[in-house]
Amino acid sequence: MTKKQELLLNLEVIKNEHLKWRNYAEAKFNGIDIKKELTPVKHTECACGKMILEFGQIIYHLTTASSVARDHEEFHRIGEELYKFMNNMPKGTLLTKNSVKRKNEETLKNYSEILKNLSNNLLSTFDSIRNEINCIDDKKIESMLSNPDK
């Protein structure tokens, strides 16, 4: 397998992992209890973060990848904030219970929308990166990996 093929395969793995995590998050938003191991991780510990570290010398040279690291980190930050909020939602008192519940639902909806927009941006970026990589000659990919300044 060439480095280009490996890079494209890793990109597909990242997309699939991202979609899986997003589906878990949406299930959590909808009140479905998910297993603890499906909770958010640091942005450097997921498939995308690992690929950025492994193939950064190529990824950072791609025009289409200029925002991927920042958007990916923000996605994880918002996901973690949302997860913490969901696990520590205010309950309110007997008199304020309904008001607090509405406010919690509004906050969840806002987090969910932000996360969904970030996710859609990332998925679009992954597709653009794939297209750009497909236009790069295999030898240039090999060269970029062996000589990161190219």
Q: What percent of the chain has a predicted confidence (pLDDT) above 70?
A: 93
Residue predicted with more confidence, 56 or 14: 14
Domains held by the chain: number: 1
Q: What is the mean pLDDT of residues 26-42?
A: 72
- Give, in degrees to the nearest 5, the angle at Cα 89 between 88 and 95: 135
Count of beta carbons in the 10 Å neighbourhood of residue 3? 17
Instruction: Enter the pTM of the model.
Output: 0.82
Dihedral over Cα of 133, 65, 58, 23: its sign: negative
Q: What is the mean pLDDT of residues 2-11?
A: 89
What rounded mean pLDDT belongs to the chain? 85
Domain that holds residue 113: 3-146
Nearest to 121 by CA among 78, 80, 75: 75
Q: Give the pLDDT band (50/70/90) at residue 121.
A: very high
pLDDT at 11 over 60: yes
| pLDDT score recorded for residue 42 | 83
Q: What is the mean pLDDT of residues 58-77?
A: 87
pLDDT at 30 over 60: yes
Residue predicted with more confidence, 75 or 33: 75
